[in-house]
Structure 1
Amino acid sequence: MIKLFIYYSILLINLSCGSSGLGQSGTNPPSHTSFDQLLQAHVNEQGKVDYNGFNADMDKLDIYLTLLSTNPPDRDTWSEAEQLAYWINAYNAFTIKLILKHYPVKSIKDIKPRLNIPLVNTVWHLEFFEIGGKPASLDEIEHKILRKEFNEPRIHFAINCASVSCPQLMNHAYSANNLDAQLEQAAQAFINNPKHNTLDNKQAELSPLFSWFKEDFTRDGSLVEFINQYADKHLSKEAKISFKDYNWSLNE
C-alpha cells in the first residue's frame, strides 16, 4: 500500500511539473516508414519481439532514431495526429533501443539507473536519448507529453514497455493518416485479450493499467463505460472490479 501511494504521488508530481520543453519550431513530420519496416520484420502478430533481429538491424534503427531526435514536433504547425504518431513511435522505438543497449536482459526493470531510488529514479527516468538537442526520457514522453498534452486515453494501449503484461507492440508504426483506426485496434486488442483482462457481465479482473491510470480512462465517464466501448463482453454498471498481477518479463 505504501509503494502504491508513492507511485501515485510520483504520477501526480510528473503531471504537475508543467509541459515538456521537448519540441521545436520549423520542423516537418518525419516519415515512419523505416520503423514500420523494422517492426514488420522483427515483431510477430502476437507482439513478441525478436531483439536479436533488431540488433542485426541496429544501423537502420539508429538512422530512424536520429530522424526523430532531429525533427521534434512543432506544436504550432503539426496536426494533433502527427504529434501523437510521432510521440507514440518515439516511445516504442527508444524503448527497443534501451533494451538492445542492455540485451540480454530478463526485464526492463533490471536496467538500473546509477542512482537507484525505488519508484523515484527508475529506468523510465533515464535520459539516454535527445529530442531536439535536449536530454529526454521515456517518463517525460509518457507523463509530460502524451498524458498531459493530449486527451487520448488510448495511448496506453499503443505505447509498449517491453514487458509481457504491456499492451502488445504492434508490428506496424503509427501514422497520422490512420491514427484513429490504429488506436481503436490497439484498444480492442488489449481489452479483449484474456491474458490482460478477464471480462464477465458481473465481474472483471483487469490489467493494473486501469488502476494506475484510472484518471485518464474516467474523464468522460466511469471505467466500466470506457471498457464497454471496446469489450466484446459488456460489463454491468455494478460489475465487481479487481486487478491482475503485472508480469514484467521481457516480451520476446
Structure 2
Amino acid sequence: MIVLLAVLALSLPTKAQNLNDHAYNKLLQKHVNSFGEVNYQAIKTDPQLLQASLEGFTKTQPNKSWSQEERLAYWINAYNAFTIKLIIDHYPIKSIKDIKNPWDQEFIPIGKQLMSLNQIEHDILRKMKEPRFHFAIVCASKSCPKLLNEAYTPSKLDLQLTLATEEFLSDETKNNLSEETIKLSKIFKWFSEDFTTNGSLIDFLNLYAPIEISQKAKKSYMDYNWDLNE
C-alpha cells in the first residue's frame, strides 16, 4: 500500500510548467507576430507543434500546490492554445463566429470531462478575481486584445498583464479615450462587473489608461470586429 501511494504521488503534477520551454511558447514565437496576428495557414501545415502544445496542457494540470500566478498563467495559455485549435479545426474561415457555438463546444480534454472555452473563462478565470486576464485571453478576432507572441509565465505575469491592459487601452481601434469622452471596447460592457469590484469603471481605466479620465466622462461602446486575427 505504501509503495502504491508513493507511485501515485510521483505520477501527480506537483510543479507548474516551465512555460519558457513549452511547445506552446515555441508555437507562438514561430506563428504569431508582434501585432498579435496569427498565421493559421502555417499552423495548419505544422500540426505536430500544435498537438505538442495542447498535450502540454492536458498532461500537466493545476493542483492545490500551484500558486495563484501559476494557475492563472496556465489557464490563460490553455484558453488561447485551444482557441487556436478550434480555428485550425475549421480553417479556412473568416470569423470564429462562422463556427457553431464556438465558446460552448466541449472539446478541451483537461480534467475528468471535456471542457469548453466558456467554462475556462467563466468558471475558472473570472472567479480568480484578476480582471486583467480579459486582455490576455484572445477570441481570435481583430477587436480582441492581441495574442502575445510568448507564453504568459508566473514569474512575470503581473508585468505581462499590466502591459497587455495598457496596450489594449492605448489601441484606438479598440478604445478611444479622452478626458471627457470614452468609446470603449464591448469587453467592458460584457464583463462590467469584473472591472468594478474595487471602485468604478473609470477608477479601473485610470490605473492603465494613457490619460486621466474624468469620473463624469460620457461613455459609449465601439462596434466589435469579429474578423479573424490573421
In the superposition, the TM-score normalised over structure 2's length comes to: 0.91
- Is 1:147 the counterpart of 2:132 in the alignment? no
SS of corresponding position for 1:145 = helix
Shift of 1:99: 0.2
Structure 2, gaps ≥5 residues long: 1-11
- RMSD of Structure 2 on Structure 1 (CA): 1.3
Structure 1, gaps ≥5 residues long: 1-24, 113-121
Say how many residue pairs are matched: 218
Q: 2:78 aligns with which of 69, 87, 90?
A: 90
SS of corresponding position for 1:83 = helix
Bigger radius of gyration, 1 or 2? 2
Shift of 1:132: 2.6
What is the CA deviation profile of residues 103-127 of structure 1, one whole-angstrom value per residue up to 9, with x for unaligned ones? Answer: 0011101111xxxxxxxxx210101
Superposition pairs for residues 37-52 of structure 1, below 5 Å? 37-52=26-41
Q: 1:62 aligns with which of 7, 29, 51?
A: 51
Mapped to 2, the partners of 1:238 and 1:168 lie a distance apart of 29
Amino acid paired to 1:102: H
Q: 1:126 aligns with which of 101, 105, 113?
A: 105
Q: Quick check: 1:27–1:72 contact (8 Å CA) kept in 2?
A: no
Mapped to 2, the partners of 1:157 and 1:213 lie a distance apart of 12
Tell me the percent identity.
50
- Is 1:243 the counterpart of 2:221 in the alignment? yes
The equivalent residue for 1:214 is 192
SS of corresponding position for 1:154 = helix
In the superposition, the TM-score normalised over structure 1's length comes to: 0.84
CA pair 31-57 structure 1, distance change in 2 beyond 3 A: farther
Shift of 1:26: 4.6
The equivalent residue for 1:191 is 169
The equivalent residue for 1:165 is 143
Mapped to 1, the partners of 2:31 and 2:56 lie a distance apart of 20
- Is 1:29 the counterpart of 2:7 in the alignment? no
Q: Quick check: 1:70–1:133 contact (8 Å CA) kept in 2?
A: no
Q: Quick check: 2:24–2:52 contact (8 Å CA) kept in 1?
A: no
The equivalent residue for 2:9 is none
What is the CA deviation profile of residues 89-145 of structure 1, one whole-angstrom value per residue up to 9, with x for unaligned ones? Answer: 000000000000000011101111xxxxxxxxx210101121034211100000000
What is the CA deviation profile of residues 212-252 of structure 1, one whole-angstrom value per residue up to 9, with x for unaligned ones? Answer: 11100010011111111111122111100000011111001
Q: 1:178 aligns with which of 145, 153, 156?
A: 156
- Is 1:204 the counterpart of 2:182 in the alignment? yes
Mapped to 2, the partners of 1:105 and 1:52 lie a distance apart of 11
Q: Quick check: 2:13–2:60 contact (8 Å CA) kept in 1?
A: no
Q: Quick check: 2:28–2:149 contact (8 Å CA) kept in 1?
A: yes
Mapped to 2, the partners of 1:67 and 1:172 lie a distance apart of 15
Q: Quick check: 1:70–1:132 contact (8 Å CA) kept in 2?
A: no
